[in-house]
Chains A and B, each alone.
Chain A
Amino acid sequence: MRVEGREKVTGTARYAYEYPVAGAAYAFAVQAAAGPGRVTAVHDEEVLALPGVIAVLSHRNAPALKPVEDGELALFQSDEVAYRGQVVAAVVAETLDTAREAARLLRVDYDDRPPKVRLSPGDPGLYKPEEVNPSFPADTGQGDPDEAFGASAVRIDATYTTPAEHNNPMEPHATIAEWRDGGLTLHDSNQGASTVAATLAELFDLEPAQVRVVAPHVGGGFGSKGTPRPNVVLAAMAARVTGRPVKFAFTRQQMFATTGYRTPTIQRVRLGADADGTLTTIVHEVVEQTSTVREFAEQAATPTRMMYRAPHRRTAHRLARLDVPTPSWMRAPGETPGMFALECAMDELAFAAGVDPIELRVRNEPDTEPESGLPFSSRNLVACLRRGAELFGWDDRDPAPSVRRRGRKMYGTGVASATYPANLSPSKATAAAAPDGTFTVRIAAADIGTGARTALTAIAAEALKTDASRVTVEIGDSALPKAPLAGGSMGTASWGFAVTRACEALRADLDGGASPPVEASADTTEEVKARGDYARHAFGAQFAEVEVDVDTGEIRVPRMLGVFAAGRIVDPQRARSQFIGGMTMGLGMALMEESTMDERFGDYVNHDLAQYHVPACADVRDIDAVWIEESDPHLNPMGTKGIGEIGIVGAAAAVANALHHATGLRLRDLPLTPAAVLTNL
């Protein structure tokens, strides 16, 4: 059971906006109604005259902030508007309804110019970023891919596109800010209290210890709460200006322009192979967008650098700097869009070469990591594919497309590989023993729904050689020992490492005769640095079955199965939830998720949950995940790889490949809509 499960089912788990604060005022954001351009006037006097309005914040009166790397946080620091939808003002009032009404009434004038928002592969403004997220080279290459491709017996040259997609955690980005004794206390919805505290201290020119960020429960993030967003700056600023505690949340609609999203991508993949499907050439070139405020370069081609063997290869990323909201992390940035393209191309190659898609992947399995030459710490892609084939019933599959029809429905199955790096960050933790035989572990980790609190409790109990019921794990507070954020699927691995070391030290103290109360601490910086040179990745195989209505074009997915190899699985029930949760988001990516840019005015048009569709209960039928236990000594003391992101990787490709098997249609643009099926069938 989840450690905090009871609080969550009884409604007593408090999220950021829900802390009782005496005398709180409410803030409401005003977004630019035009852009790019400049704000020429803010008619704040009109709304300041309304009863209950306390303040209007804009570039005209906002306190100066220290510059930080993320320009999205430089709230109200100039009259510049980078894109329509950017936050240009805020109203603070006695009640939420008054703040909201005043924000609606606030007149702002703009001097704007037509936005440039169209992402196009022929854009002369495309440029090569210095590196791609988080710090990979933009381009890589080996051999002579152009020549080798031309000489290949079987060739695939296809372009795939993925649209902008929004994270949409169910809990909107929210903050309560309070200044007390020169310090700042924030109840904030985020993926890492230490990170938010450090950034806010920088912005407001405070000592790190003067900022306290509290976030014991977070209603999802999927990357969008991995870095502080404007909400936390807005709340802190409003509280400073008014001298009151301030509550602020973005509305669902506002989140579409202010809290990040997955960049749209245009990806050209070229695969050259021998007649039997053995790859000679892999080329993966990606075009994506970023904003004028901050560069974010999604690493979409990076999985292609390590998936399959081929002597001739090239990957490249090019960016367009557009007048759009700034894209950012969304669940498995890089791998998610990149593996859609690569794994669809692999399916096309399998079909063209007349090789079973699983056999094709097995045939191109590398011995060492293709571009780096490093040994894999463990790589069980083939085992996942084989196991999945058995469980899913792949072996009697007739590869011919478009031959299974019952009534109005056509059926097909598809497969795709999944991968995600097993990274690690340094972390601190403490462990304390009390005289009554209980233990308390402290670490500024975050549980955004991953089950981190529960997993860390199990990890601590194991290292302490005690029962989990005696262990309390305190997380979600920047006052706790500093920890990295929940992101990159490395949260629980990094935190668990520090927790293990702190608990081992405490156990040794106790075994050596120390008597409680006693505390031990750990910092894994040196150990993380000292890890050997290995290519560390989790792998998986995604299987999907589709059912296509030939009259309406509707695609249903009756079955999805994921088989993963992600090190040791510490907490099976939570792990399964993470895997199937990722696969469910992958189903959304395959069939429905798409944010549409308004090409005339800028900003995303379908900015709510009625128009941006995420999977609902009836969309999800049979989704299951299983895993292959790995024992990998090169990871961390628990032997774990992250599991939060790999579930979405490859899922959309498996569905698209199944659609081809069902109908013979190769749809290369996500999402796979009824309209696209009907026009092409």
Chain B
Amino acid sequence: MDSGDGVVHAEITVTVNGAARRLRVDTRVSLLDLLREELGLTGAKKGCDHGQCGACTVLLDGRRANACLALAVAQDGAEVVTVEGLAGGDRLSPLQQAFLDEDAFQCGYCTPGQLCSATGMLDEAARGRPSAVTPPGDGPPELDDAEIRERMSGNLCRCGAYVNIVAAVRAAAGEAAR
């Protein structure tokens, strides 16, 4: 609906970290800016705003997605989980704990995206989704280092924490498998 100032708004309902929100959004706003500027959820980061770095990765209906490439108005009915929603209360998720243990970050700016991405990635692997390392038909992927690196390559880390990120994901994946 045009509110008379040339800006078009629309009403949507999204569930963010478990809580349903009824929102009136400027139709130009990205999901990332909605989270950061309007809902105060600044965990999702803006590294490029162009789908090139992964810092803004959230889970959108259970799958990892770049929030900077998703228009908020198109998310009516969607379920969004951000880094703020990964821990169970005070209990960190196994990935969050592994990132701490392995020192899988330095500045921490890519970290929320890495964590959401890894969370979605473990789920994709568990469902047998293929990758460049495990092409379709090759059976369920085994999360060795090559597989983790491939599947985590949508998330850039300029601090160069990859070696530790892979170690953390490997540790958390191992824990999940037990």
A associates with B: yes
A170 touches B109 (CB 8 A): yes
Residue of A nearest to B6 (CB): A51
Most buried by A among B44, B111, B155: B111
Chain A contacts with B in 206-241, Cβ cutoff 8 A: 217-220, 222
Contact A618 B112 (CB under 8 A): no
- B52's contact among A97, A101, A220, A609, by CB below 8 Å, is which? A609
Docked complex: A122-143 residues within 8 A CB-CB of B: none
Tell me if A610 is interfacial: C-beta within 8 Å of chain B: yes
Chain B residues with CB below 8 A from A580, complex form:
160, 163-164
Given contact pairs A170-B107, A449-B107, A222 touches B158 in the complex (Cβ within 8 A): yes
Report the Cα distance A71→B33, complex, angstroms. Answer: 33
B110, A608: Cβ atoms closer than 8 Å: no
Are A609 and B108 in contact, with the CB atoms below 8 A?
Answer: no
A577/B149 in contact, CB under 8 A: no
CA distance A618 to B133 in the complex (A): 11
Of A12-20, A317-325, A345-353, A465-473, the one touching chain B: A12-20
Minimum CB distance partner of A220 in chain B: B107
Q: Which one of A336-344, A362-370, A582-590 is at the interface?
A: A582-590
Total A-B pairs, Cβ < 8 A: 186
CA distance A12 to B41 in the complex (A): 9
**A: number of interface residues (CB 8 Å):** 66
Residue of B nearest to A11 (CB): B43
Q: Are A52 and B7 in contact (CB under 8 A)?
A: yes
Hey, which chain B residues are within 8 Å of A272, CB to CB?
none
Specify which chain A residues have a CB less than 8 angstroms from the CB of B79 in the assembled complex.
Answer: none
Looking at the complex, which of A2-10, A39-47, A659-667 is the stretch in contact with chain B? A2-10
Contact A617 to B162, CB < 8 A, known contacts A170-B107, A449-B107, A609-B156: yes
B160-A170 in contact (CB<8A): no
List the A side residues contacting B176 at CB < 8 Å.
none
Which of B59-67, B80-88, B122-130 faces chain A?
Answer: B80-88
- Return chain B residues, CB-CB under 8 Å to A608: 48, 50, 52
- A614–B36 alpha-carbon span in the complex (Å): 26
B161 touches A577 (CB 8 A): yes
Q: A218, B87: Cβ atoms under 8 Å?
A: no
Please indicate the chain B residues that have their CB under 8 angstroms from the CB of A614 in the complex: 156, 158
Question: Given A581-B161, A618-B150, A50–B6 Cβ distance below 8 Å?
Answer: yes
Contact between A12 and B158, CB atoms less than 8 A apart: no
Query: Contact between A97 and B96 (Cβ–Cβ < 8 Å)?
Result: no
Q: For the complex, give the distance between the alpha carbons of A10 and B41 in Å.
A: 11
Which of A1, A220, A583: most chain B CB closer than 10 A? Answer: A220
- On whether the beta carbons of A51 and B5 are closer than 8 Å, the reply is yes
* Closest-CB distance, B89 to chain A (whole angstroms): 11
Task: State the CA gap A522–B104 with chains docked (Å).
Answer: 34
Contact B50 A610 (CB under 8 A): yes
Residue on A with the closest CB to B107? Answer: A449
The distance in angstroms between the C-alpha atoms of A371 and B36, with both chains bound, is 54
By a CB distance below 8 angstroms, the chain A residues around B49 are 251-252
Counting chain A CB atoms within 10 Å of each CB, the highest count among B50, B101, B148 belongs to B50
Asked if B74 lies at the interface with its beta carbon under 8 angstroms from chain A, I say no
Write the nearest CB–CB distance from B103 to chain A, whole angstroms: 5
| Residue pair B96, A449 in contact (C-beta under 8 Å) | no
Binary per-residue interface labels of chain A (603-643) against chain B in the complex, 1 for a CB within 8 Å, 0 otherwise:
00000111000111110111110000000000000000000
User: In the complex, what distance in Å separates the CA atom of A616 from the CA atom of B45?
Assistant: 18
Please measure, in the bound complex, the distance between the C-alpha atom of A616 and the C-alpha atom of B166, giving whole angstroms.
Answer: 12
Measured between beta carbons, the chain B residues less than 8 angstroms from A5 are 99-100, 105
Given contacts A170-B109, A448-B107, contact A249 B156 (CB under 8 A): no
CB of A573 within 8 A of chain B? yes
Q: Shortest beta-carbon distance, A264 to chain B, in Å?
A: 20
B36, B53, B106, B157: the one contacting A451 at CB < 8 Å is B106
Question: Do B111 and A8 touch (CB < 8 A)?
Answer: yes
Q: How far is the CB of B16 from chain A (nearest CB, A)?
A: 13
Q: How far is the CA of A596 from the CA of B156 in the complex (A)?
A: 21
B115: Cβ under 8 A from any A Cβ = yes
Q: Is A98 an interface residue (CB 8 A)?
A: yes
**Which of these, B7, B48, B111, B160, contacts A9 with CB under 8 Å?**
B111
Closest-by-CB residue of A relative to B96 is A9
Determine the chain B residues whose CB is within 8 A of the CB of A516 once the complex forms: none
Q: Are A18 and B42 in contact (CB under 8 A)?
A: yes
Most chain-A CB neighbours within 10 Å: which of B28, B48, B55? B48
- A171 CB within 8 Å of chain B: yes
CA distance A18 to B36 in the complex (A): 8
A9–B100 contact, CB under 8 A? yes
| Distance of A605 Cα from B5 Cα, bound (Å) | 36
B29 at the A interface (CB under 8 A): yes
Query: Contacting B82 at CB < 8 Å: which of A11, A172, A573, A578?
Result: A11
Chain B residue nearest to A26 in the complex (CB): B37
Find out whether the CB atom of A12 lies under 8 angstroms from the CB atom of B107: no
B158 — which chain A residues lie within 8 A by C-beta?
Answer: 168-170, 220, 222, 585, 614
The answer to whether A172 and B46 touch (CB under 8 A), given A10-B87, A618-B153, is: yes
**Chain B residues, Cβ within 8 Å of A451:** 106
> Given A581-B159, A617-B153, is A169 in contact with B84 using a C-beta cutoff of 8 Å?
no
Chain B residue numbers with a CB within 8 Å of A172 are 46-47
Q: How far, in whole Å, are A251 and B53 apart by their CA atoms in the complex?
A: 13
Is A170 in contact with B105, judged by CB distance below 8 angstroms?
Answer: no
Q: Does A515 contact B (CB under 8 A)?
A: no
A560-585 CB mask vs B (1 if < 8 Å, else 0) is: 00000000000001101110111111
Are the CB atoms of A616 and B160 closer together than 8 Å? no
* Minimal Cβ-Cβ distance residue in A for B111: A8
A500 at the A/B interface (Cβ < 8 Å)? Answer: no
Q: Is A95 positioned at the interface, with any CB of B under 8 Å from its CB?
A: yes
Q: Which residues of B contact A622 (CB under 8 A)?
A: 163
CA distance A5 to B115 in the complex (A): 13
Residue of A nearest to B168 (CB): A9
Task: Say which residue of B26, B87, B100, B160 sits within 8 Å of A615 (CB atoms).
Answer: B160
CB < 8 Å neighbour of A11 from B33, B106, B112: B112
Residues of the A chain whose Cβ atoms lie less than 8 Å from the Cβ of B26: 95, 97
Contact residues in A for B83 (Cβ distance below 8 Å): 9-11
User: Closest Cβ of chain A: how far from B70's Cβ, in Å?
Assistant: 15
Residue A450 is within 8 A (CB to CB) of chain B in the complex:
yes
Assess whether A14 is in contact with B42, with CB atoms less than 8 Å apart.
yes
Whether a CB of chain A sits under 8 angstroms from the CB of B139 is: no
- Asked if B69 is at the interface of the complex by the 8 Å CB criterion, the answer is no
B78 neighbours in A (Cβ, 8 Å): none
Decide yes or no whether A96 CB sits under 8 A from chain B.
yes
Given contacts A18-B36, A97-B33, A220-B107, contact A583 B156 (CB under 8 A): no
Instruction: Tell whether, in the assembled complex, residue A97 and residue B111 are in contact, meaning their CB atoms are under 8 Å apart.
Output: no
**Chain B contacts of A584 at CB under 8 A?**
160, 162-163
Query: Is the pair B162, A620 in contact by a Cβ cutoff of 8 Å?
Result: yes
**Smallest CB gap from A588: residue in B:** B160
Given contacts A17-B46, A172-B46, 8 further A-B contacts (CB under 8 A): A8-B108, A9-B92, A98-B7, A171-B47, A220-B109, A449-B105, A614-B156, A618-B150
15 contacts between A and B (CB under 8 A): A2-B103, A11-B83, A11-B84, A97-B29, A97-B33, A169-B158, A170-B158, A171-B107, A217-B108, A219-B107, A577-B159, A584-B163, A608-B48, A609-B53, A618-B149
A interface residue numbers (CB < 8 A to B): 1-2, 4-15, 17-18, 20, 50-52, 95-98, 101, 168-172, 217-220, 222, 249, 251-252, 448-451, 573-574, 576-578, 580-585, 608-610, 614-618, 620-624
